[in-house]
Amino acid sequence: VILINFIDEERLLAADALVKGLSKEEQEQNKLGPMLIFRHQKDSKDKTFLTSTLPNRLASVAVCNSRCVRKEPPPPLPAGAFGFIPVLHEATRTGDKGGVPG
């Protein structure tokens, strides 16, 4: 377990405990699947995601101006590899004078 200062440990553990109580159907829905990438496309005929999954709270979409492409997620990074390195690109300029922060 890694403790992160802005995450309440008790709340995190309580949420994790709820996973054990999920039904088989809920567990099936709660797993990694393809990425759904929505792109604007005026007058799209794609009707796949128009019906609300929460009809008591959100109405279904009447007109769709997007299309959905399913894409498999990328493979996991190799052990020890970094997915994101928090550095500014050398051409990045910030602040009033346009200089690199220091």
- In 3-state terms, what secondary structure has residue 27? helix
Any domain includes 77: no
Residue 86 in domain: no
63 inside domain: yes
If one counts the domains in the chain, the total is 1
In this prediction, residue 71 carries a pLDDT of 95
Full residue range of the structural domain in which residue 20 is found = 9-71
pTM for this prediction: 0.48
d(CA 98, CA 11): 42
Answer whether residue 99 is part of any domain: no
Give 98 or 96, the one with higher predicted confidence: 96
Residue type, position 10, single letter: E
Coil, helix or strand for 40? Answer: strand
Tens-place pLDDT, residues 30-81:
888 899 999 999 988 888 888 998 999 999 988 889 999 999 998 888 998 8
Of the given ranges (8-22, 33-47, 80-94), which has the lowest mean pLDDT?
80-94
Q: How many residues does the chain have?
A: 102
Q: 8 falls in which pLDDT band (50, 70, 90)?
A: confident
CA distances to 38, 47, 50, 56 from 65, in Å: 10, 10, 11, 23
Asked if the structure places residue 25 within a domain, the reply is yes
